[in-house]
Amino acid sequence: MPRSQFVDPFEIRKKGKITFQDIPVNQYDRSIQEEKASFTTEDFLRIFRDMAIIREFESMMNLIKTTGEYNGIPYHHPGPAHLSIGQEAAAVGQAYLLDKEDFIFGSHRSHGEILAKGLSAIQKLPEEELMKIMKNFREGRILKIVEENRTGGNVKDLAIDFLIYGAMAEIFARETGFQAGLGGSMHAFFTPFGIYPNNAIVGGSGDISVGAALYKKINRKKGIVIANIGDASMGCGPVWEGICLAAMDQYKKLWEGEYRGGLPLIINFFNNHYGMGGQTSGETMGYDMLARVGAGVNPEQMHAERIDGFNPLAVIDAIRRKKKILEEKNGPVLLDTITYRFSGHSPSDASSYRTKEEVDAWMAVDPLLTYRKQLIDSDVTTDSALEDILADARELVTKTLKLSIDDSVSPRMNLSADPQAISRLMFSNQKVEKMEDRECDVLMKKEENLQWQRVQKKVRFGLDENGKPVSKNRVYQFRDGVFEAMIDKFYTDPTLIAYGEENRDWGGAFAVYRGLTEAIPYHRLFNSPISEGAIVGSAVGYGMCGGRAVVELMYADFLGRAGDEVFNQLSKWQAMSAGQIKMPIIVRISVGSKYGAQHSQDWTSIVAHIPGLKVVFPATPYDAKGLMNSALMGTDPVIFFESQRLYDIGEMFHKEGVPKDYYEIPIGEPDIKKQGKDITILTIGATLYRALDSAKILEEKYGLSAEIIDARSIVPFNYEKVLESVKKTGRILLTSDACDRGSHLKDMAQTISELAFDYLDAPPVVVGSKNWITPAHELEDFFFPQPEWIIDAIHEKILPLPGHIAKSNYTAQEMIRTNKLGV
Amino acid sequence: MATPVIMPRQGQSVESCIISQWFVKKGDKVKEGDLLFSYETDKAAFEEEAKSEGTVLEIFFKEGDDVPVLTNVCVLGEEGEDYAEFVPEDAATPENNVTGEKADGKADEKAEEYAAVVTPPAGEPEKPVPEGKRFISPRARNLAEKTGVDIRHAKSTGPNNRIIERDIRNLHQQGAMVTQGAKGAYKSLDTPLAGSGLGGRVTTQDLTLPVAVVGNAEEEQPVTAVYQDVKVSNIRKVIARSMHESLSEMAQLTLNASFDATDILNLRRQFKKNADKMDLSNITLNDILIYAVSRVLPMHKAINAHFLGDTMRYFTNVNMGVAVDTDRGLMVPTIMNANLKSLNEISIEAKELARECQKGTINPDKLKDGTFTITNLGALGIESFTPVINPPQTAILGVNTIEQKFREREGIIEAYSSMSLSLTFDHRAVDGAPAARFLKDLREALESFTILLAK
């Protein structure tokens, strides 16, 4: 508890200064001769071989892209190819000591890292295990192809064929690639070898890798995690956020027992000095040397160091030393691994930002030349032996290219024959009670938890026997529904963690987790820095590794801060991995009011637009618990919206009250909250209660009976119940607190128009918030939908009501006017 | 002195009445006892007489207006007298009376009714608007197709003058329907046609016959007219709805049985002969039947009951509904606690109720709360029929005519007077055997009615 750490004004106001230790720069200076004690000849040669394979692979890609031909084989590849020619020594040096328990995460320029890590894993894994991995991966499909086309060799040779083919077929978008061609060049990976997803978003791995390190630490898994990102990504907010999250004091100060200590994480910058065409040191950044940044993060200065990525042995040396720091729980580490890409950013790069002299100068110290010369000079091997290695690499790449572009062997996904092939992968739709079967780390029995006991005593239906509302203090509230689902899962799934801003002692800004502090240890429920990007991004990494997490964004308005993580990472990895990755991550997002323009937005529509996310917005305690249970049981990412207007509301619909026992409400099923026959009103979120008010007016004043349907879920959504209702009533109005323009309700209205056109007596009408900023609380009734607006809209657009005089303007002219003005 | 005439309150449950007809107009001189206007509730019709002499100074409501009870309807007094203080709040202005438009704007008019209610047909049918120049909702168009109404006659009440579902429903209730076959040819006509097909649909045959123009039945009726459209009265609508509901919602079936009516016919003759002497009412066969049924019913509680879906309501006493045929239609006044009343009392009450119904002065409260109903078509020579249950009652007894039948008794063929009974019961509430047992007990009671009387 941070309360145990006294913020002492006397200490804090004392005079003093911050001192820094030196940050080592290229300190490695051992010769091959000196390293002979640590490396055998085979080791030295294997390092060369791995660099040669990568160089050949990337050169092939370069030739295919620029000349349409490699070694006499013509091929056209329209997709991306961000090549790392020149960076081989850095990749191979890093991978040299890593085994399959060590995870790497990459960038858009990671072909070399994938191959290096794969080759290193193959070298270390016993043959039986290698065979097992290959047989089990995608039901042995890739293995079968490389086995049928092999030209002799042992299991390790076969595994190398497997690795090169899987990666190459993936880059060429073949169904036989590692990710069935759905990942491609920038997203190829192979988790059985510890190769975790690369990322086309610059710095994307900067926070995802932190989640992987959290997974290792919290679930006591072996191995370290390395984020491989580029020097230019140091300018990305989420990278800084990831560093902050990785370097939190609490790991070393507040986490208890064996969980105390730093994260097993290296944030490694492959520093090739350019972010596309921007020169980082000298133009777009100000750090002079990137390693300097580590000094500003924590007293350990992140053990930052600049190392020479043009010397594979220097990189191996650094990884050996840094791995030890991580094993001693002193992470995280920042590495500035200098390197240089001879190729352009991409084949279309005209290198206008650098001189030929500069490229030539770096090419003169090309590791494939210098390391080769050193091996010969130190009598490790002969030039012809190295020539043989180069020739083998060329043969390997040539053979694999032929195989991976042969449509009969390596077809693309056949979407004509199987149009649902990608659609099936958008969600995993599994039910997994616990992501791992072992005991849960907790501090007490659930039944002893005071808050749990308090919740058990609450009245589980919102109205007493006389139909009067039960007092707020006694009634089982919306927040209790979320609490109950959460505490149940904390005691069921040992991998479950929850974090975000103020999540632990405060219980979240809206006290949903109140009382969990006493029951759940620090490493499973903790406060994060104000880093929305890293909060979601790290959860993505945690999920990729096999854990389940619930993270929170305090206000929907802060969603923008986690834009990439929600829109590109959380949503896409299940499908981009062809189903190899599950994403059992829930992002709780609270929709505010009262606090003005940047704290009151309903952004359900924005996430509903993104493929791959499930989106729910319960409005009652019964639905909140049931939907949270479903979300926590599932394996898909769920954006769980909650309204701050409703946290203390009691259950008004489910007469039996909110069950104490476990139950699920299926995601995607709307619920009829009130039966009616004259008009259907479909609501999302808190407008349910305003729609009920309007139904009362319709009933009492105009004799119309409204059927109220609470969408509950936004994605997926089963329209059947709504269509049935619309066929009965012939009329529908949709309402939510989202701004009217681009509201998801418009999408629903359009879908209903298509599916029930012949039954409609009027077009579906949407009543949303104004397309303005949200004004102060006192003026909110002019901004958010009100019961009277609903009546007015019905009167104006659906069914003129006798004697009704509309106060708000829902005429066609007004629609044209406001749209013309964009308001 | 000017005197207002109010809309009388006919029973506690009545909130308003509809003025059916005015017998006087503004400026007419009336004397005490002259009929001023007739009015009706959904259950009965009444007439209001002048209670004093004078001139009709003003009429506040027109025929068809729904007037809250105790509201001033018109004012009588000396010519030229000021009557301003008697003008009710929701009266139509005299100008509107003249044009026949109803000044309304009453907020309590329910939109549900508005959504489906029949707007009174205008005196002149609207000129049909060509299709294609009007907008119509898909739902309304489908309904028009299904019901066969001619949308050119629909009055738009939707947004942007769009024809919506309720407009088609209105039109459907007013008529203006065409069969599928006649549609094509009909569309080219300028003038709407009256239809002779099912539900008043215009058929292909109608299109080839001499034109019959739908119009106000009383004015401008062309010589070629072969029929007359008369607006259905409220009572008729109520009967229609209640009968249809009864048949569509219940599981009705009818048992027929006859009994030897010798005893009751003898008794009836006795009563007739001695009525004056014994100060008895003119006791009819119907009274005898009411009496017998009211005595037998308490032993068959499922027949003297209401079926309320998930509950049965059994009654201790018998509130006997007696069907009365009137000019306005069928009415069923109730003899309360008939099982506790003597035959003479029943006879007196039944006659009084029938008289009030015929006159139309029956208090609507007397038309409620029946637990069982008797309907007698015997006088009209009916031998057997299937009476329709008055919901939520569980049964109704139909009484048929007396016939001469023959039977064999101790080797001799003899003639006797037989009367048959038709019992319709709701099989949801009562099974066949219990219903038959009731009928059996009733027959026995009637065959030895004198003994029953003595009990």
User: Where is A606: in which H helix or E strand?
Assistant: helix A604-608
Could you tell me if A730 lies within 8 Å of chain B, comparing CB atoms?
A: yes
**Total beta-carbon pairs less than 8 A apart between chain A and chain B:** 64
Instruction: Tell me the C-alpha distance between A556 and A554, whole Å.
Output: 7
Alpha carbon distances (Å) from A549 to A251, A495, A626, A753, B219: 18, 8, 18, 38, 83
Of these ranges, A587-601, B97-111, B212-226, the one predicted with the greatest mean pLDDT is A587-601
Residue A14 lies in a domain: no
| Whether residue A333 is found in the same domain as residue A190 | yes
Quick: pLDDT tens for A108-148.
Answer: 999 999 999 999 999 999 999 999 999 999 999 999 999 99
| CATH number for A799 | 3.40.50.920
Residue A663 lies in a domain: no
Could you tell me if B169 lies within 8 Å of chain A, comparing CB atoms?
A: no
Q: What type of residue is B68?
A: P
| Whether residue A359 is found in the same domain as residue A306 | yes
Quick one: average pLDDT of A535-550?
98
Chain B CB contacts of A801 under 8 Å are 111, 114
Quick: pLDDT tens for A284-308.
Answer: 999 999 999 999 999 999 999 999 9
Residue A776 lies in a domain: yes
For chain B, domain boundaries: 3-99, 111-208, 236-454
- Chain B: nearest CA to A466, how far in angstroms? 23
Instruction: Tell me the C-alpha distance between B368 and B335, whole Å.
Output: 10
Which CATH homologous superfamily contains domain B236-454? Chloramphenicol acetyltransferase-like domain (3.30.559.10)
Number of H helices, E strands in chain A: 28, 21
List % helix, strand, coil for chain A (3-state, nearest 5): 45, 15, 45
| Whether residue A104 is found in the same domain as residue A164 | yes
Fold classification of B111-208 is Dihydrolipoamide Transferase (4.10.320)
Give the domain extent around A472: 446-643
Q: Where are the alpha helices (DSSP H) in B71-123?
A: 94-99, 111-116
Instruction: Tell me the C-alpha distance between A744 and A607, whole Å.
Output: 9
Instruction: Tell me the C-alpha distance between A326 and A334, whole Å.
Output: 11
Could you tell me if B3 lies within 8 Å of chain A, comparing CB atoms?
A: no
Chain B CB contacts of A797 under 8 Å are 159
Instruction: Tell me the C-alpha distance between A74 and A96, whole Å.
Output: 34
User: Is the ipTM above a cut-off of 0.90?
Assistant: no
Determine whether the interchain pair A761/B109 forms a contact, defined as Cβ–Cβ distance below 8 Å.
Answer: no
Nearest to A243 by CA among A307, A316, A317, A303: A303
For residue B134, the model assigns a pLDDT of 78
For residue A218, the model assigns a pLDDT of 98
Chain B CB contacts of A678 under 8 Å are 112, 115
Other beta carbons less than 10 A from residue A559's beta carbon: 21
Quick: pLDDT tens for B383-428.
Answer: 999 999 988 899 999 999 999 888 888 888 888 999 999 999 999 9
| Whether residue A394 is found in the same domain as residue A491 | no
Report how many domains make up chain A.
3
Number of H helices, E strands in chain B: 12, 20
Mapped onto helix, strand or coil, the DSSP state of residue A683 is strand
Instruction: Tell me the C-alpha distance between B89 and B78, whole Å.
Output: 23
A697, pLDDT greater than 70: yes
Chain A CB contacts of B109 under 8 Å are 802-803
Residue A209 lies in a domain: yes
B213, pLDDT greater than 60: no
Residue of A701, A725, A761, A797 to mutate, interface with B, max B Cβ within 10 Å: A761
A472, pLDDT greater than 80: yes
Across B288-336, the runs of DSSP E, i.e. the strands, are 305-307, 312-314, 320-322, 324-326, 329-331, 334-335
| Whether residue A309 is found in the same domain as residue A380 | yes
Could you tell me if B270 lies within 8 Å of chain A, comparing CB atoms?
A: no
Mean residue pLDDT across chain A: 96
> What chain A residue is nearest to B108 in terms of C-alpha separation?
A701
| Whether residue A354 is found in the same domain as residue A472 | no
Burial (0-12, 13-18, 19+ Cβ within 10 Å), B336 = middle
Quick one: average pLDDT of B177-194?
58
Determine whether the interchain pair B139/A798 forms a contact, defined as Cβ–Cβ distance below 8 Å.
Answer: no
| Whether residue A184 is found in the same domain as residue A251 | yes
Chain A CB contacts of B139 under 8 Å are 730, 758-761
Chain B CB contacts of A813 under 8 Å are none
A735, pLDDT greater than 80: yes
Q: What type of residue is A191?
A: T
Quick one: average pLDDT of A727-754?
97
Last-in-domain residue among A405, A437, A455: A405
Cβ within 8 Å of residue B245, ≥6 positions away: B391
Determine whether the interchain pair A761/B112 forms a contact, defined as Cβ–Cβ distance below 8 Å.
Answer: no
A595, pLDDT greater than 80: yes
- Chain A: nearest CA to B19, how far in angstroms? 23
Query: Hey, what are A380's tokens?
Result: 């490790």
Query: Hey, what are A434's tokens?
Result: 């616990």
- Chain A: nearest CA to B146, how far in angstroms? 13
Which 8-state DSSP code applies to residue B379?
A: G
Nearest to A773 by CA among A712, A716, A811, A823: A823
Task: Using DSSP bridges, classify how beta strands A638-643 and A614-616 pair: parallel, antiparallel or unpaired.
Answer: parallel
Quick: pLDDT tens for B330-344.
Answer: 889 999 999 999 999
User: Where is A253: in which H helix or E strand?
Assistant: helix A250-253
B211, pLDDT greater than 80: no
Alpha carbon distances (Å) from A184 to A178, A179, B91: 9, 8, 81
Could you tell me if B162 lies within 8 Å of chain A, comparing CB atoms?
A: yes
Quick one: average pLDDT of A743-772?
97
- Chain A: nearest CA to B13, how far in angstroms? 21
Q: What type of residue is B336?
A: M
Alpha carbon distances (Å) from A84 to A230, A309, B329: 11, 12, 98
B219, pLDDT greater than 60: no
Nearest to A624 by CA among A514, A480, A469, A736: A480
Catalytic residues of A: 599
Determine whether the interchain pair A802/B111 forms a contact, defined as Cβ–Cβ distance below 8 Å.
Answer: yes
For the ranges A291-305, B121-135, B364-378, the lowest mean pLDDT is seen at: B121-135
Where is pLDDT greater, at B316 or A243?
A243
| Whether residue A634 is found in the same domain as residue A537 | yes
Which 8-state DSSP code applies to residue A79?
A: S
Place of tokens 């047989």: A135
Where is pLDDT greater, at B89 or A388?
A388
> What chain B residue is nearest to A805 in terms of C-alpha separation?
B107
- Chain B: nearest CA to A690, how far in angstroms? 21
The residues facing B48 across adjacent strands are B37
B103, pLDDT greater than 60: no
Instruction: Tell me the C-alpha distance between A97 and A43, whole Å.
Output: 11
Could you tell me if B113 lies within 8 Å of chain A, comparing CB atoms?
A: yes
pLDDT band at B187 (very low <50, low <70, confident <90, very high): low
B124, pLDDT greater than 70: no
For the ranges A89-93, B55-59, B148-152, the lowest mean pLDDT is seen at: B148-152
Nearest to A524 by CA among A141, A143, A257, A177: A257
> What chain B residue is nearest to A704 in terms of C-alpha separation?
B112
A54, pLDDT greater than 70: yes
Burial (0-12, 13-18, 19+ Cβ within 10 Å), A154 = exposed
Could you tell me if B145 lies within 8 Å of chain A, comparing CB atoms?
A: no
A341, pLDDT greater than 80: yes
| CATH number for A551 | 3.40.50.970
- Chain A: nearest CA to B104, how far in angstroms? 10
| Whether residue A711 is found in the same domain as residue A780 | yes
Four-CA torsion A684, A687, A689, A691, nearest 10 degrees: -90
DSSP A410-435: SPPP-TTT-TTTTGGGS----B-S-S
For residue B47, the model assigns a pLDDT of 85
Alpha carbon distances (Å) from A374 to A52, A315, A325, A380: 15, 16, 30, 8
Chain A CB contacts of B155 under 8 Å are none
DSSP B206-248: HHHSPP-----SSSS--TT------PPPHHHHHHHHHHHHHHH
Quick one: average pLDDT of B230-243?
77
Place of tokens 């009916």: B382
Q: Does residue A411 have a cis bond before it (omega within 30 degrees)?
A: no
Quick one: average pLDDT of A522-530?
97
Of these ranges, A5-9, A580-584, B161-165, the one predicted with the greatest mean pLDDT is A580-584
A384, pLDDT greater than 60: yes
pLDDT band at A434 (very low <50, low <70, confident <90, very high): very high
Determine whether the interchain pair A802/B140 forms a contact, defined as Cβ–Cβ distance below 8 Å.
Answer: no
Quick one: average pLDDT of A618-630?
98
pTM for the complete prediction?
0.71
Residue A650 lies in a domain: no
Determine whether the interchain pair B164/A799 forms a contact, defined as Cβ–Cβ distance below 8 Å.
Answer: yes
Nearest to B141 by CA among A172, A759, A67, A516: A759
| Whether residue A631 is found in the same domain as residue A728 | no
| Whether residue A631 is found in the same domain as residue A693 | no
Instruction: Tell me the C-alpha distance between A184 and B64, whole Å.
Output: 79
Burial (0-12, 13-18, 19+ Cβ within 10 Å), B270 = middle
pLDDT band at B277 (very low <50, low <70, confident <90, very high): confident
Instruction: Tell me the C-alpha distance between B195 and B204, whole Å.
Output: 9
Does the domain made of B3-99 have the CATH classification 2.40.50.100? yes
For the ranges A448-457, A678-687, B157-166, B357-366, the lowest mean pLDDT is seen at: B357-366
Instruction: Tell me the C-alpha distance between B440 and B429, whole Å.
Output: 19
Mapped onto helix, strand or coil, the DSSP state of residue A598 is coil
Instruction: Tell me the C-alpha distance between A34 and A43, whole Å.
Output: 14
| Whether residue A638 is found in the same domain as residue A691 | no
